[in-house]
């Protein structure tokens, strides 16, 4: 009798638990479940489309002086005023130049200022040339004119692992020729009269060869053919933006536009 009563109590408790679990009201109390899914048959599903993050707007100075132009201006400046910082310091006249016998050869501060002014004028002409070309390249109406200009001013020839590139600059009246190969970076630049429009007599020929020996050490040679000056430059990275250079320069012939002398220049600088 007692056992039958206990069995009845147990069945009642189990039935109550099952009713509480499966009751719609019990599901409704839990926000993760719904009591009725019949409305989902009429519900329209839409795919979730992730909005792309807007690209950061390029600053005006980066649109005007992009990486390509900045590299070209740096190369031209080094060709004109010296490859390393110590060369530019040594070649530039200063207040002590009045007591230097080579003062008349290196030029006066006024002449150096004129050279820098002419270099600034070249930068303006090159900026105008590059941006006009960029506009013509992206405008279908004048793109044929840009393509014709590219065919005349640029040349590329590939043979196996070698590539020969030639490019003429109207703004600077220069012709750059590069031999791209797996071993060294070589370049020949023909400098013509920058005040003359179109190719003309070559005033100077620059030959440069660059080779990275290790990630921190590199060798470079620069030869000014008409002037007869050969420079050997050693570059050394010192870490944290610091770098050192050792330049050895000497004359290969008696006559030239620069002083006939042998130079040993050592310098340390930091890039910012």
Packing angle between helix 109-138 and helix 143-153, nearest 10 degrees? 130
Considering only residues 102 and 49, tell me which one the structure prediction assigns the higher pLDDT: 49
**How far apart, in whole angstroms, are the C-alpha atoms of residue 159 and residue 254?**
39
pLDDT of residue 102: 46
Confidence of residue 115 (pLDDT cuts 50, 70, 90): confident
Return the pLDDT at 110: 76
- Cα–Cα distance list, 222 to 15, 49, 100 (Å): 97, 57, 26
Radius of gyration of the chain (CA): 37
- Average of per-residue pLDDT across 167-173: 87
User: What burial letters (b/e) apply to 15-51, b meaning 16+ CB within 10 Å?
Assistant: eeeeeeeeeeeeeeeeeeeeeeeeeeeeeeeeeeeee
What is the percent of the chain where pLDDT is above 90? 23
Q: Which of 42-46, 112-116, 245-249, 251-255 comes out lowest in average pLDDT?
A: 42-46
The answer, yes or no, to whether residue 103 has pLDDT greater than 50, is no
Over residues 35-39, the mean pLDDT reads 72
Which run of H or E residues covers position 134? helix 109-138
Measured CA to CA, the distance from residue 237 to residue 164 in angstroms comes to 30
pLDDT: is 131 or 100 the higher one?
A: 131
Separation of alpha carbons 131 and 125, rounded Å: 10
Facing residues of 268 across strands?
Answer: 244
Q: Is the dihedral of CA 165, 168, 172, 173 positive or negative?
A: positive
pLDDT, tens digit (0-9, with 9 covering 90-100), for 57-101: 667 667 777 888 888 899 999 888 888 888 888 777 665 554 444
Q: Does the pLDDT value for residue 117 go beyond 80?
A: yes
Which H or E element spans position 109? helix 109-138
- The reported pTM is 0.68
Distances in Å between the Cα of 96 and the Cα atoms of 82, 103, 208, 258 are 19, 9, 32, 19
Residue 22, pLDDT > 60, answer no
List pLDDT tens digits, range 201-234.
899 999 999 999 999 999 999 999 999 999 999 9
Q: By the 8 A CB rule, do 210 and 220 touch?
A: yes
Query: Mean pLDDT for the chain?
Result: 79
pLDDT at 223: 93
pLDDT of residue 65: 77
């Amino acid at each position: 009798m007692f056992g039958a009563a206990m069995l009845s109590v147990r069945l009642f408790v189990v039935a109550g638990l099952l009713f509480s679990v499966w009751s719609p009201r019990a599901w409704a109390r839990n926000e993760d479940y719904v009591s009725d899914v019949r409305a989902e048959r009429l519900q329209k599903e839409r795919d979730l489309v992730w909005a792309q993050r807007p690209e950061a707007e390029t600053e005006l100075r980066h649109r005007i002086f992009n990486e390509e132009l900045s590299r070209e201006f740096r190369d031209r400046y080094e060709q004109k005023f010296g490859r390393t910082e110590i060369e530019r310091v040594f070649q530039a006249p200063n207040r002590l130049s009045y007591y230097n016998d080579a003062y008349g050869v290196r030029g006066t501060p006024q002449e150096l200022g004129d050279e820098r002014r002419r270099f600034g004028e070249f930068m303006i002409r090159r900026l105008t040339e590059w941006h006009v070309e960029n506009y013509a390249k992206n405008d279908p109406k004048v793109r044929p004119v840009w393509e014709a200009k590219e065919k005349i001013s640029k040349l590329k020839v590939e043979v196996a692992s070698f590539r020969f590139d030639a490019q003429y600059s109207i703004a600077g009246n220069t012709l750059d020729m590069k031999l791209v190969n797996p071993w060294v970076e070589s370049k020949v630049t023909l400098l013509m009269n920058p005040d003359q429009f179109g190719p003309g007599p070559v005033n100077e020929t620059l030959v440069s060869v660059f080779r990275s020996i290790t990630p921190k050490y590199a060798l470079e040679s620069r030869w000014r053919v008409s002037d007869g000056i050969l420079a050997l430059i050693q570059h050394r990275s010192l870490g944290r933006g610091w770098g050192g250079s050792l330049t050895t320069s000497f004359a290969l012939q008696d006559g030239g536009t620069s002083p006939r002398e042998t130079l040993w220049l050592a310098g340390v600088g930091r890039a910012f």
